[in-house]
Structure 1
Amino acid sequence: MMMRKWPRVAVKDVCSLIVDCVNRTAPIVEHDTPYRMIRTTNVKEGRIDLSSCRRVDERTYERWTRRAKLLDGDVILTREAPIGEVGYVSGLGPVFLGQRLMQYRPDPKKVVPRYLYYAFRSTDLQHQFGSHEGSGSVVSHIRVADCHEFKVSLPPIRQQELVVDLLGSIDDKIELNRRMNDTLEAMAQAIFRDWFVDFGPTRRKIEGASDPAEIMGRLVTDPKRLRQRADLFPAALGDDGLPATWNRRSLLTEAQLVSGGTPKTTESGYWGGAIKWASAKDVSQCASSFLLDTERTITDLGLRKSAAKIVPRFATVLVARGATTGRYCMFGDSFAMNQTCYGLVSRRSAPFFLNQAFGALVESLVQAAHGSVFDTVTTKTLEMATVVDPGEAPRVAYEALAGPLIMKVLENLRESKTLVATRDLLLPKLMSGEITIRDAEQRLEAAQ
C-alpha cells in the first residue's frame, strides 16, 4: 500500500489562538474555590488530572486569564519540566494555566480540535518537542516563539474526524476503565474501613441494630450471606477499643518481609532479560493499585548473582527510603525489585486484606520515617507497626467480598494496557497516512 502524503502546516496556521502562560506564580488560597490552576505536574500521559490542583480566588483567576480563558477543545502543552506532555480541555470548569504551559485553540474550519491533540501526542510532534532537550540552558525548555512553528500533517477535515472517532473510541474505553477502577477501589476500601477501622458492624450492634443489612451498613448486598457475615462481628467492644476477641498484632506477624537487590550494572549479561525488576521509581510512579510493568528487566543470571528475589503476585510493595518513602502498590505479576523497596507477602493467604491494612497505617510509618537521615522506613519500623487481627473468619469474608472487586481492577488495567499499546501503534501511522482507517479498525479488532 502506498503511503499518503498529507500536507505539512505550521501549528500557528491552524490555530485561532496560541497563548503562553503568565510567567509568575499565582497567589493561591487554602479554602475551596472553583478556580483551579493547572501545573505541569497535572498534565501527564494525555490527561489533565485536577485531583491535586491548587486553588485561587476569583480576582486572581480573572487576572491570570486576561489574555484568554481555557475553553473546551483547547489543547495545552508543557514546554518545560517536563517537555511535551499534552492535555485536552473538556468539562474542566474555570481553570487556568500555571507556569511553563502553552494554550492552543484550534480553528475548527481548519483542524478538528481533538485531531490537534492527537497530533501533539504523535511521535512526529513528540520528536519536534524533544529536539529542544538540548536547548543549552540549565533546564531544557521550548522557547515560546518555537511553540508557534511546529509542523503538523493535515489531512482533509473528514479524514481528521475519522481518525478522532477511532482513537477517541479507544481513549473513551480507557477512561471508562479508569473510572470503573476508581469506583471498585473505593468500594473495597469502604468495606475495609467500616469493618476493620471504624468497627461499624460492632458499633451498630451496640446501638441496637438487629437487621443484618443494617448491621453490615448496607455494604453487603447478598441476602444469602447477610446473616452469616453479620454474625462474624462481636456485639461489644473490649477495654482496648477493639471488638471483643479481636487483637492488634505486629504487621510482620501478618506479612513476610521480602527485601530486594540490584545486579551489577556493569555486567551486561545481568540486564535486559525476561524478569521485570521494580525500582523505587517504578513503584512511586505507579498510578494505579497494581504495577504491571517496570522500566528495566534482568536475566536469570542477574537474579542468581544478586540479592534480588522474586516477589510474588499480589505482594504489597513500598518505597522504604528517599523522597518518595511510603509510596506503595501491589505487584500485578511476580517481579524482582531493588533494595530501596520492601515487599509484604501475606502469611494468611489474604493479600487484599493485608494491602488495605497497610494502607491504613502507611501515613504513620512515613511520619515516623520523616526527619531521619534519609527518610527511611526500617525493618524495625515495620516490626513495631501493628494491624488489627480480627481472626480468620472476618479476614476470609473480606477476601471473598473484596477479592472480585480488586481482581476486576486488575482485569481492567490489563485491558487498558493493551488498548494503550494499540492506540500508540496506530496513532503515528494514522497521522502520517501510512495506514487507512479501515486498516486501523481491523488491527484494533484483532487486538481485542
Structure 2
Amino acid sequence: MSKSRFAPGIYKVSELIDLKILDIGDGYRAKNSEMSEEGLPFARAGNINEGFHFESADRLGDDGVAKAAEKISRPGDVLFTSKGTVGRFALVREDTPQFVYSPQLCYWRSKEHSIIYPKFLYYWMSGPGLISQINSVKGQTDMADYVNLRDQRMMYIQVPPIATQREIAAVLSSLDDKGELNRQMNRTLEQMARALFKSWFIDFDPVHAKQRGEQPAGMDAETAALFPDRFVEIDGKEVPEGWEIAKLGKLIDLDKGVSYKGEFLSQSGIPMLNLGTFFAKAGFKPSGIKYYTGDYKNKHTVEAGDIIIANTDLTQRREIIGSPAIVPKGIGSGDIIFTHHTFAMRNRGLAGQQFIYHIMQTDDYRERVIGHAHGTTVLAVKKDSLLDLEIILPSGEIVDRFCIQASALYNCAEQNGIEIAHLTQVRDSLLPRLLSGELDVSDWENAVEGL
C-alpha cells in the first residue's frame, strides 16, 4: 500500500513506519562529559507529569546536542515514559521548549499530519487502546518496568478518518484546556501563599514598615497590631522583638514509613505514598501513588491534610530529598500509608500546618537538607537533621493569622484540583466511546451531562 492509497483502519505500528507515516524512537544515551550548565534540557521521566517541568532539569551541552539529532523534540511529538515509571504521556506543543529525550523516554512522531493528526495521536496513546498493550509487555524483565522499541513496533494503532481525528481531538482538548486553566490558577495561588510567607517571616516587611512609622502595605489594622515595631539581637541574629529562635523539632516530630515488599504491590489495595508522589522541592503528585496489600502499623498511616517529606533521593540531583507535600483529599476511602523513603510530620500543636509547610520551602531548609544528605548512589537525610533546623518563631497569633490566609488560598486550589480530576475522568471516559463510534462527536456535551 502507498501513502496515496491509505485507508482508515487498524494498523501495526511497523506498517506505518514502513510507509513513512509514523516514526518512533527512544532517547539519547548521553555521557557525563556531555552534560553542561547550559544547553537543551535533558528530559527524564521526572520532568514529565501533566506537562513538562524543566526548571531543575539537567542540560545537554552543544556537543551532545549535535549528536542527538532525531532524538531532539519537535512540535507534534507524543512522548511517553518507557522505563521505570511507564505510561506518562505528553504532547510537544509549538510553545514547548525544545529538549533532548533521555533513555527513559520514547517518542512517536507523525510524519504525515494529513493521515495521523498529532493531537489525536496523543489522546489515542493516552487511552486504553495503547495502555493495555503497554501493560502486557512492560513487566517482561526482572528489572524495572520497560517497554522497548521492538515491542512498540509490534503494537497496533487505530487510525480513523482525519476529519474524525480532528473532531475527537477538539472535544478532548476543550476539557484539557479547562484543566490547564485550573492548574495555572493553582500555581498563582501557591505563589501568593509563598509570597505572603516570605513577606511576613523572611523579609519581615510588616516589622520594617512599623519601624518606619508606616502602616504595613495591604494589611488590616488588627493584623498589623500583632507585629512588633523593632528588632532585637539573639545569638547574633536580628529578630523581631518578642519572637524567638527555636528548632523545628519544637513544632513537629517525624515518623518513618513502612518498609514494604515489592511482592505486595498491586493495582488496587491501600494507597501508598512514596517518592513518586513528590514534585521537586514541594508539592503532591497524585500520579505517583502506588497500592499495597501487605502489613503495616498505625504509625505508617496519614490523613488528608497531613504533611509528608521525602527523606531519600534516588539520584544525586537533590531535587526530591526534603521535599514536603500536603496529602490531598480524595485518596481512597480508608487508610493511607507511606513508605520508609518518606517521613510523616506529626504536629505538636504549636503552629499550623501551612506555616510549617512553608518553612520547608525556605532557602535555609533546602540548604540544610542538601548539606546533610549523604550516600554515594542513593541519598538519604536523617530525621534529626531536619528537626535540628533553627527557625525564627513568631507569636502564635501571627502564625494563626498567616495560616487562615494561606488556608483560604490552598482550599481554593484544592477545589480546582477536584475539578481537574473530574475533567480528566470525563475525558478518559469519552475517549473510547468516541473512538468506537458509540458516541457521536456532535453529541458529546449531552454525554458529559450524564457523567
TM-score by length of 2: 0.77
Q: Which runs of 5+ in 1 are unaligned?
A: 1-5, 214-219
Aligned 1:346-385 pairs, distance under 5 A = 347-348=349-350, 350-360=352-362, 362-363=365-366, 364-365=368-369, 367-368=371-372, 370=374, 375-378=380-383, 380-381=384-385, 383-385=387-389
**What is the alpha-carbon distance in structure 1 between the residues aligned to residue 154 and residue 258 of structure 2?**
47
Q: 1:290 to 1:19 in 2, by over 3 A?
A: closer
**What is the alpha-carbon distance in structure 2 between the residues aligned to residue 136 and residue 335 of structure 1?**
32
Equivalent residue letter for 2:65: Y
**What is the alpha-carbon distance in structure 1 between the residues aligned to residue 83 and residue 245 of structure 2?**
49
Tell me which moved more, 233-242 or 182-191: 233-242
RMSD: 3.9
Tell me which moved more, 178-187 or 392-401: 392-401
| Match for residue 129 of structure 2 among 105, 113, 124 | 124
Match for residue 392 of structure 1?
Answer: 396
Helix, strand or coil at the partner of 2:233? coil
Q: Is the 8 A contact 1:286 1:329 kept in 2?
A: no
Q: CA deviation at 1:353?
A: 1.2
Q: CA deviation at 1:136?
A: 5.7
Q: Which runs of 5+ in 2 are unaligned?
A: 1-7, 315-319
Tell me which moved more, 188-197 or 83-92: 83-92
| Match for residue 7 of structure 1 among 6, 9, 13 | 9
Helix, strand or coil at the partner of 2:189? helix
1:74 aligns with 2:81: no
Equivalent residue letter for 2:229: A
1:96 aligns with 2:100: yes
**What is the alpha-carbon distance in structure 2 between the residues aligned to residue 265 and residue 122 of structure 1?**
27
Number of residue pairs matched by the alignment: 419
Q: Is the 8 A contact 1:316 1:345 kept in 2?
A: no
| Match for residue 291 of structure 2 among 292, 296, 302 | 296
Q: 1:393 to 1:54 in 2, by over 3 A?
A: same
TM-score by length of 1: 0.78
Helix, strand or coil at the partner of 2:240? coil
Helix, strand or coil at the partner of 2:11? strand
Match for residue 318 of structure 1?
Answer: 309
Q: CA deviation at 1:117?
A: 1.1
**Percent of aligned positions with the same letter in both sequences?**
22
Aligned 1:148-187 pairs, distance under 5 A = 148-187=153-192
**What is the alpha-carbon distance in structure 1 between the residues aligned to residue 187 and residue 22 of structure 2?**
35
Equivalent residue letter for 2:126: R
Q: CA deviation at 1:21?
A: 4.8
1:25 aligns with 2:30: yes
Q: CA deviation at 1:209?
A: 6.4
| Match for residue 190 of structure 1 among 172, 184, 195 | 195
Q: 1:336 to 1:103 in 2, by over 3 A?
A: closer
Equivalent residue letter for 2:37: H
Q: Is the 8 A contact 1:314 1:332 kept in 2?
A: yes
1:234 aligns with 2:228: yes
Helix, strand or coil at the partner of 1:239? strand
Task: After superposition, give the CA deviation of every residue in 1:246-303 in whole Å (9 maximum; x if it has no partner).
Answer: 1122334333656666899999xxx977xx554434644799735769533789xx88
**What is the alpha-carbon distance in structure 2 between the residues aligned to residue 37 and residue 403 of structure 1?**
36
Q: 1:32 to 1:439 in 2, by over 3 A?
A: same
1:39 aligns with 2:30: no
Match for residue 90 of structure 2?
Answer: 87
**What is the alpha-carbon distance in structure 1 between the residues aligned to residue 373 and residue 64 of structure 2?**
38
Helix, strand or coil at the partner of 1:102? strand
